[in-house]
Structure 1
Amino acid sequence: MKDSSQIRLATSSDLQNIKSLTEACALAMQEKGIFQWNEHYPSLKKLEFDVDHNELFVLENYDKLLGIIVLTHIMDEEYIPISWLTANSKNLYIHRLATDPATWGKGYGKKLMNFAEDFARENNYESVRLDTFSQNKRNQRFYEARGYQKLGDIFFPKQSTHPFHCYELVL
Structure 2
Amino acid sequence: MASMLQVRPARAEEAERVAEILEDGKRTIAQFGIEQWQHGYPNIESVKADIATGSCYVAEDADGALVGTLALLSGIDPEYCRARIAWLTDNPCEQDGEAPYLAIHRSATAAEALGRGVMGAMFTAAEQIARDRGALSIRIDTHPGNRAMRGFLAKQGFCEIAPIELTQKGDDETDLTRIAYEKLVTKCAK
- Common fold, TM-score beyond 0.5? yes
Partner AA of 2:142 in structure 1: T
| TM-fit CA distance, 1:43 | 1.8
Equivalence for 2:70? 69
Equivalence for 1:57? 57
Equivalence for 1:84? 87
Q: How does 1:12-31 map to 2 (within 5 A)?
A: 12-31=12-31
Where does structure 2 lack aligned partners over 5 or more consecutive residues? 92-98, 186-190
Which piece of structure 1 moves more, 16-25 or 73-82? 73-82
Q: Deviations over 1:33-73 (max 9, x none)?
A: 34321232102111111000000011112331100011111
Partner AA of 1:56 in structure 2: C
Q: Distance in 2 between matches of 1:39 and 1:33?
A: 13
Q: Distance in 2 between matches of 1:97 and 1:160?
A: 21
| TM-fit CA distance, 1:97 | 1.2
Equivalence for 2:184? 170
Q: 1:50 to 1:2 in 2, by over 3 A?
A: closer
Q: Distance in 1 between matches of 2:32 and 2:78?
A: 30
Partner AA of 1:163 in structure 2: T
Partner AA of 2:135 in structure 1: Y
Q: Distance in 2 between matches of 1:43 and 1:60?
A: 21
Equivalence for 1:46? 46
- Tell me the matched-pair count: 171
- 8 A Cα contact 2:71 2:107, kept in partner: yes
Equivalence for 1:152? 162
Partner AA of 2:131 in structure 1: R
SS at match of 1:45: helix
Give me the identity figure in percent.
27
Give the number of the structure with larger relative contact order, counting CA–CA contacts within 8 Å between residues 6 or more apart: 2
TM-score (norm 2): 0.81
Where does structure 1 lack aligned partners over 5 or more consecutive residues? none
Residue 113 in 1 paired to residue 133 in 2? Answer: no
Runs of 4+ in 1 over 6 A off after TM superposition: none
Q: Distance in 2 between matches of 1:121 and 1:148?
A: 16
Which piece of structure 1 moves more, 29-38 or 77-86? 29-38
- 8 A Cα contact 2:90 2:100, kept in partner: yes
- 8 A Cα contact 1:36 1:160, kept in partner: no
Q: Distance in 1 between matches of 2:127 and 2:74?
A: 13
